[in-house]
Amino acid sequence: MLEYYGNPDKSRLPGLLERPTSGNEDVIRSVDEILSDVREHGDEALLRLAERFDGARPDSLFATPGEFAEAEALVSPSLRKAVDEACSNIRRFHEAQLPKGEVVETQEGVVCSRRIVPIGRVGLYVPSGTAPLFSTVLMLAIPASVARCRDIVLATPAKNGKVNPAILYAAKVAGVHRVLKVGGAQAIAAFAYGTESLSPRDKIFGPGNRYVSFAKLRVSSFVAIDMLAGPSEVMVVADRSSDPVFVAADLLSQAEHGNDSQVVLLIREDEAEAARIYSEVRGALSGLLEELPRADFMLRTLENSVAISYPSSEDILYAVNLYAPEHLIINTSDCDELLEGVENAGSVFLGPYSPESAGDYASGTNHTLPTSGWARSSSGVSTDSFIKKITVQKLTRKGAGLLAPTVMEMAAAESLYAHRKAMEVRTCR
Amino acid sequence: MLEYYGNPDKSRLPGLLERPTSGNEDVIRSVDEILSDVREHGDEALLRLAERFDGARPDSLFATPGEFAEAEALVSPSLRKAVDEACSNIRRFHEAQLPKGEVVETQEGVVCSRRIVPIGRVGLYVPSGTAPLFSTVLMLAIPASVARCRDIVLATPAKNGKVNPAILYAAKVAGVHRVLKVGGAQAIAAFAYGTESLSPRDKIFGPGNRYVSFAKLRVSSFVAIDMLAGPSEVMVVADRSSDPVFVAADLLSQAEHGNDSQVVLLIREDEAEAARIYSEVRGALSGLLEELPRADFMLRTLENSVAISYPSSEDILYAVNLYAPEHLIINTSDCDELLEGVENAGSVFLGPYSPESAGDYASGTNHTLPTSGWARSSSGVSTDSFIKKITVQKLTRKGAGLLAPTVMEMAAAESLYAHRKAMEVRTCR
């Protein structure tokens, strides 16, 4: 596990940092069948597929007030308190992200502005397989609610007819309007095509298994999606100041996400010191594995993982920006300085006291982040993801007169004479 | 042309507003061949394909300083002045869009922030077919330059070995770093895969014909693109206060974009008044068509177009938001009030003196806008399109201690025990 490479030639980095891949061929046919089934048969298909995949035909497609009340009673007071506190932090950070729009008089009588408008109908998908990801409910619904989306629908499977109580509770506190008790590719189909009881969504958000991801890819030619989510990944930057137990615990928390997730440790020290740190981290890993359930599972994940050292910050940052990690933990004495050189990352965790799990749940940042190197071009989900910015221009008569020569000259040079005419007629009336 | 429907039942609107579609099957094979050719043979394929499609094998793949100087001399002083003035307005508006990021202490000792970081390597595509779209150079390169992207490459075909001089001049003033003399799907392939002389791009921007659009769709599974651009479209809202010549000129400037573009006129009046306005607009159309070249071409486009009237603003706004037009001209006496109800549009042109051509060229807004109804979920290109927002969190030791109970409770409820451990170890050291 965690194979170590000291100061490797940079040309080797793309190979060392290659992400695990998995084929998708087997899911294509199944997803396509589900998509056309829901498209053709609507609600009836959703109920039939719920029975087939989730063990029961639900009494209603949407969670009822009674189900919400029942769920709240089933969630322990301590978990309710934790969800409420996480919600408050996440809401605070996402409210600060709401843009105000701009108004600029670019030249006399020409006023350009951007209007901030929420996306109307959004669909949020939250899986509920081995573990109910109620934290993801918060990460998607809070920004939607902060952006004031008009119609916020969350879909999640109802195993044997029941939605997980923590998911229903989180949906309520986060501002979800309706919970659709449907999971998998069929939920994505309902969002994309609409059914008798659900209008088509303007944008679809949320993680999921390969079926859900492939369904999102399929419908993305006609409906917006948040991102194509791949396996989760973390890069940890350490040096001699880092507590090896902290480093090991961070690596393990990524490892428990599954054996296609990836863990990379970067040590900024010369080879001798790096080798010493590496062996301390391995020791701490062994110690923690003894305390934790599912050690075998995490060990298998760590087989995909590597540790790499470079003595210089420059080379460490080169590796970071080449890999473009979803999560980047900078646990070094000069973390703020290193941050200045980070160009590609989803979310950064600075210093010894900022584990990834803080941001996964409750610090306030969003945990829906670009994977598979998409951090080179894309940001994670934020309040921005739930709004549009519509540009507006208004010219006065005088402004139109002053701008006309520029527009008319350019339109003629592009051989667009009706464009020129539309400006010209404004100058003579 | 411009068939008229007075006060139609709203259930008919989706049919009346249906966009023209065109098949793509014939381009698929050709684009796939070009993509693999460039992927396998790099620069050599680019030179060979330029010879095949653009009539000459260029001496160099990138425009030289000599070519820039020659181009500048070939552009008339009046066009240079117009480009400079447009550039200044566009730059002013896009500079105002640069976000500052936020810093929020969500709870004691927990600081969350967003860092604004430019996307590193961008590829901008600008077609140069019947007309050289040098205005698009400004619309893509200015925001890239305002965002401070490190490597801004523009690709455009060099017909018979020569790039259009206005495109080269615009590239220079707008801040392009290098101009790749390659067009079509092969330019998109070079951006996506990279070649010996060009590193792969992090994001690809720009309009193009069906080959270019399909190539962008193909590579979008692994490289970010700005949007899938469909045929251009305009919706004009008029009432008894609108000058019919202004309305007609605006409809025609959309019509000259080609026969798959779409033009919709909405008249907010009762049927009798609307019919009168409709006939005045038709009269103005006929008058203007006599003054303009390519009247036959525009007439054919107008065959796809409709005029629809409703007496109420509410119904007019329903039609606007259902259609989600790329361009929306609100040429009514109460345009500012109507704007408040606009939820779905790319860019809005307010009042009598704001033709679409003002924004196409020089008002300061961007003309790269969502088509085909994507305005329901998406914004046009802006400075935002060239930046990433990386979230950062930093917890103090005390902050970690205060947040730990929340994180640990939630992690355990999601059965993620290593996540809990990573927080727990921070509380005991």
Cβ–Cβ under 8 Å, residues A238 and A267: yes
Residue to substitute from A19, A124, A205, A377, interface B, most B β-carbons within 10 A: A377
Are B291 and A421 a contacting pair, CB within 8 Å? yes
Question: For the purposes of burial, counting CB atoms within 10 Å of the CB of A363, is it exposed (0-12), middle (13-18) or buried (19 or more)?
Answer: buried
Asked if pLDDT for residue B27 goes beyond 90, the answer is no
End-to-end distance of chain B based on CA atoms, in angstroms? 78
Q: Say if residue A129's pLDDT is above 90.
A: no
CA distance A198 to A345: 36
Query: Of B121, B401, B250, B382, which is closest to residue A384 (Cα–Cα)?
Result: B382
pLDDT at residue A24, as a whole number: 66
Position B20 pLDDT exceeds 90? no
pLDDT digits (tens, 9 = 90+) for A327-377: 999 999 999 999 999 999 999 999 999 999 999 999 999 999 999 999 999
Band (pLDDT 50/70/90 cuts) for residue B24 is low
Give CA–CA dist A79/A165, Å, rounded. 11
Pair B350, B339: CB distance under 8 Å: yes
Taking contacts as CB-CB distances below 8 angstroms, the residues of chain B near A115 are 339, 342, 348
The CA-atom distances, in angstroms, between B65 and each of B79, B149, B170, B178, B368 are: 21, 21, 14, 10, 28
CA distance A51 to chain B (A): 25
Chain A contacts of B167, Cβ < 8 Å? Answer: none
Counting one residue from chain A and one from chain B, the pairs whose CB atoms sit within 8 A come to: 400
Instruction: Check pLDDT > 80 for residue A259.
Output: no
- Determine contact: A8 vs chain B, CB below 8 A: no
Residue A151 touches chain B, beta carbons under 8 Å: no
Q: Write out pLDDT tens, residues A137-160.
A: 999 999 999 999 999 999 999 999
B394 interaction partners in chain A (CB closer than 8 Å): 335, 349-351, 354
Q: State the smallest CA–CA distance between residue B343 and chain A in angstroms.
A: 6
Q: In this predicted model, what pLDDT tens digit does every residue of B99-135 receive, in sequence order?
A: 999 999 999 999 999 999 999 999 999 998 777 899 9
pLDDT value of position A135: 98
Alpha carbons B102 and A251: distance in angstroms, whole number: 29
The pairing of strands A347-350 and A327-331 is parallel
A135·B390 Cβ contact <8 A: no
What part of B 160-189 touches A (C-beta under 8 Å)?
A: 166
Q: How far is A414 from chain B (nearest CA, A)?
A: 5
Helices of type H across A97-243: 134-146, 165-174, 184-193, 210-219
Cβ–Cβ contact B117 with A under 8 A: yes
Q: Do residue B364 and residue A392 have CB atoms under 8 angstroms apart?
A: no
B97 has a chain A CB within 8 A of its CB: yes
Report the pLDDT averaged over residues A11-15. Answer: 90
Cβ atoms of residues A302 and B418 within 8 Å: no
Instruction: Check CB contact of A74 with chain B, cutoff 8 Å.
Output: no
Q: Nearest-CA neighbor of B63 among B148, B156, B128? A: B156
Other beta carbons within 10 angstroms of residue B29's beta carbon come to 9
For position B28, what pLDDT does the model report? Answer: 86
Nearest Cα to Cα of residue B116 among A379, A136, A117, A268: A379
Query: Which residue did the predictor score with more confidence, B85 or A10?
Result: B85
**First-to-last C-alpha distance (Å) of chain A:** 78
Residue A19 φ then ψ, to 5°: -85, 145
Query: What values do phi and psi take at A124, rounded to 5?
Result: -110, 125
- Report how far residue A277's alpha carbon sits from residue A300's, in angstroms, rounded to the nearest whole number: 22
Model pLDDT for residues B256-299, shown as the tens digit of each residue: 988 788 899 999 999 999 999 999 999 999 999 999 998 998 99
Substitution target from B333, B409, B415, B424 for chain A, most A beta carbons within 10 A: B409
Gap from B426 CA to chain A (nearest CA, Å): 6
Confidence at residue B26, expressed as pLDDT on a 0 to 100 scale? 77
pLDDT tens digit sequence for A64-112: 999 999 999 999 999 999 999 999 999 999 999 999 999 999 999 999 9
Other CB atoms within a 10 A radius of the CB of residue B172 amount to 18
Mean pLDDT score of chain B: 95
pLDDT higher than 70, residue A23: no
Q: What pLDDT, on the 0 to 100 scale, is given for residue A258?
A: 81
CB contact under 8 A, B358 and A423: yes
Cβ contacts of residue B54 below 8 Å, gap of 6+?
Answer: B157, B158, B159, B160, B161, B183
Please give the Cα distance from B294 to B233 (Å, whole number). Answer: 19
B358 touches chain A (CB under 8 A): yes
A84 interfaces chain B, CB cutoff of 8 Å: no
Question: For chain A, what is the mean pLDDT?
Answer: 95
- Chain B segment 191-230 residues within 8 A of A by beta carbon are 202-203, 217, 221, 223-224, 228
> Concatenated DSSP letters for B229-288?
----EEEEEE-TTS-HHHHHHHHHHHHTT-TT-EEEEEEES-HHHHHHHHHHHHHHHHHH
Q: What pLDDT does B22 receive?
A: 65
Q: Is A249 exposed, middle or buried (0-12, 13-18, 19+ CB in 10 A)?
A: buried
How do residues B42-77 score in pLDDT, each as one tens digit?
Answer: 999 999 999 999 999 999 999 999 999 999 999 999
| Residue B422 backbone dihedrals phi, psi, to 5 degrees | -60, -30
Exposed/middle/buried for A23, CB within 10 Å: 0-12, 13-18, 19+? Answer: exposed
Q: Do B379 and A390 touch (CB under 8 A)?
A: yes
> What is the chain A residue with the closest CA to B218?
A221
d(CA B323, CA B18): 8
Question: Which pLDDT score, from 0 to 100, does residue B19 have?
Answer: 84
Distance from CA of A146 to the nearest CA of B (A): 16
B345 at A interface, C-beta within 8 A: yes
Question: At A104, is the secondary structure helix, strand, or coil?
Answer: strand
Query: Residue A104: its chain B contacts at CB < 8 A?
Result: 92-93, 96, 364
Q: Which band of pLDDT confidence, cut at 50, 70 and 90, is reported for residue A27?
A: confident
Interface contact flag, A393 B349, Cβ < 8 Å: yes
* Residue type, position A291, single letter: E
Measure A105 CA to nearest chain B CA, in Å: 8
**Hey, of A21, A168, A384, A392, which one would you mutate to test binding to chain B, going by the most B CBs within 10 A of its CB?**
A392
Q: Averaged over A185-214, what is the pLDDT?
A: 96
With 80 as the cut, is the pLDDT of residue B324 above it?
yes
Pairing of strands B224-225, B203-205: parallel
DSSP-assigned letters across all residues of A35-60: HHHHHHHHHHHHHHHHHHHHSS--S-
What stretch of H or E contains B57?
Answer: none
Q: Is the pLDDT of residue A25 over 80?
A: no
